[in-house]
Amino acid sequence: MNNQTPTPHIGAKYGEIAKIVMMAGDPLRAKFMAERYLENPVLFNSVRGMLGYTGTYQGKRVSIMGHGMGIPSIGIYTYELYHFYDVETIIRVGSAGSLDKDLKLGDIVIAQGACTNSNYAAQYNLPGTYAPIASFDLCCAAAEKAKQLGLNYKVGNVYSSDTFYDEGGSIVWAKMGVLAVEMEAPALYMNAARAGKKALVICTISDSIITGEKTTAEERQTSFTSMMDIAFGII
């Protein structure tokens, strides 16, 4: 029995969360995923409105939970999941802005690595710059599943920014081959590395920094199912 649960942010008792957790920034997307993919989903968290559910998918126990916006938010939730609930694998399915001319609305980015302007890594007191990366086996499996599903996808670096309204502009990262912008991957990858666990980020292109195209909030909440099919297809 883990005496550190419930935590200040997650109301579940130890054992109520599965070893595999799917996460989305929007708790309503987590609710949508639970209703779409899980058999007999049970709500384990509603603290701060960050909905979390545990159920089964094809006989395998799986949890789904929101993580909020930004590195500090996902950093808290994933730390508690890895360290206090003994979660082994976390897969984030989220949205991203395209920095690549070949990535259109609805296309998939599998984040092999994550560049960032965040100072999250400073806590580790490393004598250099840490490069946050995905778990190799999950990354390879996701790419293979995306190929099997006939999806347009790319695997590579994303840029994870602390600033959504970035006055400095993020397009400059495209010159280094960075595929898209999101806001959470480095904290997830660093928390996983520090805990000796697994992590992957799969994103759907919700808007294009290059063309200015964008999707609606409702579309982001309920129509980005290809990345979910990939995530559930590799567990």
Q: What is the mean pLDDT of residues 19-33?
A: 97
- Cα separation of 126 and 78, whole Å? 21
How much of the chain exceeds pLDDT 70, in percent?
A: 98
- Confidence band, pLDDT 50/70/90 cuts, at residue 2: low
Cis upstream peptide for 6 (omega within 30°): yes
- Cα separation of 71 and 182, whole Å? 10
Round the average pLDDT of the chain to a whole number and report it.
Answer: 95
**What's 15-54 look like in SS3?**
CCCCCEEEEECCHHHHHHHHHHHCEEEEEEECHHHCCEEE
Element containing residue 214 per DSSP (H, E): none
CA 204 vs CA 27, 94, 108, 177, 215: distances in Å: 17, 6, 5, 18, 11
- Confidence band, pLDDT 50/70/90 cuts, at residue 219: confident
Element containing residue 104 per DSSP (H, E): none
Closest CA to 17 of 40, 38, 42: 42
pLDDT in tens, 33-92: 999 999 999 999 999 999 999 999 999 999 999 999 999 999 999 999 999 999 999 999
Q: What is the mean pLDDT of residues 212-220?
A: 82
Q: What is the mean pLDDT of residues 174-198?
A: 97
Instruction: Specify whether the CB–CB gap between 54 and 34 falls below 8 A.
Output: no
Set 26, 166, 207, 229: catalytic member: 207
Element containing residue 83 per DSSP (H, E): helix 71-84
Range 20-233 has CATH code 3.40.50.1580: yes
Whether residue 1 is predicted with pLDDT greater than 60 in this model: the reply is: no
How much of the chain exceeds pLDDT 90, in percent?
A: 88
- Confidence band, pLDDT 50/70/90 cuts, at residue 170: confident
Whether residue 142 is predicted with pLDDT greater than 60 in this model: the reply is: yes
pLDDT in tens, 106-136: 999 999 999 999 999 999 999 999 999 999 9
Q: Which amino acid is at 150?
A: G
Q: Identify whether 207 is a catalytic site residue.
A: yes
Whether residue 183 is predicted with pLDDT greater than 90 in this model: the reply is: yes
Whether residue 215 is predicted with pLDDT greater than 90 in this model: the reply is: no
Q: What is the mean pLDDT of residues 6-22?
A: 97
Question: Residue 89's pLDDT is what?
Answer: 98
Question: Residue 185's pLDDT is what?
Answer: 98
Q: What residues does each domain of the chain span?
A: 20-233
The model carries a pTM of 0.95
